[in-house]
């Protein structure tokens, strides 16, 4: 990692002033989250301690080694404190890729493995708060209503235009959200903001249509 890349990554990992401020209010705005969209077998290899001790031919050159407890009920500083419920994404990948699906819990070491992977790959996923996205969706929906809906419902093809316009907006918004996540690791809510925007647009449109009749 050269100096420019290191500086860029340090800026990315530094919490914003807003995040630092609102955490005192119990909020986690713009705080990086764990990204389980990557299969666990591409992030880390689980290796029991006995296997490491018995096999002297294991080559760990160039690898990051995390030593931690796990795989048994008493793991952790207090019994069981290092065991967590298995994330749904991890369960999905285990089924999808035919990985070991035993009853072992998801351990703190595995969680740390994902965190380390994000740091090494310089990819921290930043979620945009749902409140921000909903407010933005409502403002956009209001703008569409003011600039387009009035013109649309002045014609005889109101229902047709509405059926074309609303699904198109939802699809385009979904593609933009997906591309932002893939390209720059910005995670924007889709379902709730889109639903709120479509509902207010549809409500305003229906009210306009009723008034016209």
Averaged pLDDT of the chain: 76
Residues 161-185 have pLDDT tens digits of 666 777 787 888 889 999 999 988 8
Residue 45 has pLDDT above 60, yes or no: yes
- Dihedral angle sign, alpha carbons of residues 82, 86, 87, 93: positive
Predicted pLDDT of residue 210: 47
Residues 58-97 have pLDDT tens digits of 888 888 888 888 777 788 888 888 888 889 999 999 888 8
Which token pair is 178? 């997906």
CB-neighbour burial class of residue 40 (10 A; exposed 0-12, middle 13-18, buried 19+)? buried
Confidence of residue 40 (pLDDT cuts 50, 70, 90): very high
Query: 3-state SS of 77-125?
Result: CCCCCCEECCCHHHHHHHHHCCCCCCCCCEEHHHHHHHHHHHHHCCCCE
Residue 155 has pLDDT above 60, yes or no: no
206 vs 66, higher pLDDT? 66
The kind and range of the H/E element at 127 are strand 126-127
Length of the chain counted residue by residue = 213
Predicted pLDDT of residue 173: 86
């Amino acid at each position: 990692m050269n100096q420019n890349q290191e500086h860029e990554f340090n800026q990315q990992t530094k919490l914003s002033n807003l995040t630092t401020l609102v955490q005192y209010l119990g909020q986690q705005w713009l705080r990086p989250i764990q990204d389980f969209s990557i299969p666990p077998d591409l992030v880390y290899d689980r290796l029991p301690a006995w296997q490491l001790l018995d096999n002297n031919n294991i080559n760990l050159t160039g690898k990051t080694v995390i030593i931690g407890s796990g795989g048994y009920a008493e793991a952790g500083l207090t019994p069981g404190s290092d065991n967590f419920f298995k994330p749904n994404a991890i369960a999905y990948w285990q089924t999808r890729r035919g990985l070991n699906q035993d009853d072992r819990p998801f351990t703190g070491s595995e969680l740390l493995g994902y965190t380390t992977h994000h740091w090494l790959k310089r990819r921290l996923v930043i979620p945009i708060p749902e409140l921000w996205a909903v407010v933005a969706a409502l403002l956009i929906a209001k703008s569409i209503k003011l600039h387009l809906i009035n013109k649309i419902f002045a014609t005889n093809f109101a229902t047709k235009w509405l059926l074309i316009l609303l699904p198109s907006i939802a699809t385009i918004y979904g593609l933009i959200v997906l591309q932002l996540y893939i390209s720059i690791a910005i995670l924007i809510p889709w379902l709730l903001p889109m639903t709120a925007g479509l509902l207010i647009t549809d409500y305003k449109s229906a009210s306009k249509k009723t008034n016209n009749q």
